[in-house]
Structure 1
């Protein structure tokens, strides 16, 4: 997805508003102070698009923690002074590099292989390639073909 800085900042500001609104969900005053420190740290993380995306990931998990009423790591500790890329491993699940093939799927060891639907398509997938396909969710394709009857 090609997100602009404006889109990323909008998402961050929205999550910041949600987090501030729900701060009373955190029962401990110490947790509220830690959450505010994290929000201040994240508000300064906007030097690059990649950093902004990572910032938004942290913001999302912070909002989830605040909604649940309890902070989970890494938010149980004050934010570190280091830049976000250096602390990306703190996010749930860590940061893993995944190679995506030309179809947007995890690359197989034998290299990029088109989906079976493309392989079995009479036009080699040319029609399908021009259609919008969601990254997640369902995709349904129905084709009706009329053929002349053989005599």
Structure 2
């Protein structure tokens, strides 16, 4: 698995640390217990790179829920005893809400909406998409544009 696995484990451990220190944000003891169950479940999901990526997606959304002080689905239920399902099917606005044709494939008539930043960018977001994204911290982009002075 190598370096990719090491990076995925680093991200998971960091989010696990955040989740543990913010558990007190959850006011209901039942929510804290469910969050701990999810953390224990996610800690065991490391059999393949794909499973680790999925685990990290769940871990990220669990941290967001704990930070907001309230658990949202799928974390309102106990974690599954089976392998993790695809998180996109569980989260609001995920794949489950995409219009599909009779074969269960995404509809070809459906328009995929780009993020507003890409829509308003003169190059369609190509420059931003090519920029490195830090593993920790923030990414900031500032553009300064000069206009030709108006001559009367």
- Counterpart of 2:93 in structure 1 is 93
- Counterpart of 2:24 in structure 1 is 24
Mapping of residues 76-115 of structure 1, within 5 Å: 76-85=76-85, 89-95=89-95
TM-score in terms of structure 2 length: 0.61
Shift of 1:90: 1.5
- Counterpart of 1:10 in structure 2 is 10
Q: How many residues in Structure 1 have an aligned counterpart in Structure 2?
A: 111
Q: Stretches of 4+ moved more than 6 A in 1?
A: 135-138
* 2: CA distance, partners of 1:88 / 1:51: 14
Mapping of residues 1-151 of structure 1, within 5 Å: 4-85=4-85, 89-95=89-95, 133-134=130-131
* 2: CA distance, partners of 1:47 / 1:93: 28
Structure 1 contact 54–88 (Cα < 8 Å) conserved: no
Gapped regions of structure 2 (runs ≥ 5): 99-104, 107-111, 113-122, 124-128, 134-139, 144-152
Alpha carbons of structure 1 residues 133 and 86: separation in structure 2 relative to 1, 3 Å: closer
Structure 2 contact 16–39 (Cα < 8 Å) conserved: yes
- Counterpart of 2:116 in structure 1 is none
- Counterpart of 2:147 in structure 1 is none
Structure 2 contact 54–86 (Cα < 8 Å) conserved: no
* 2: CA distance, partners of 1:41 / 1:88: 18
Which structure has the larger Rg over C-alpha atoms?
1
Shift of 1:88: 5.2
Alpha carbons of structure 1 residues 13 and 72: separation in structure 2 relative to 1, 3 Å: same
Shift of 1:135: 7.7
Cα-to-partner distance string for 1:69-110 (whole Å, 9 max, x where unaligned): 000000000001120146652234334899xxxxxxx8xxxx
TM-score in terms of structure 1 length: 0.61
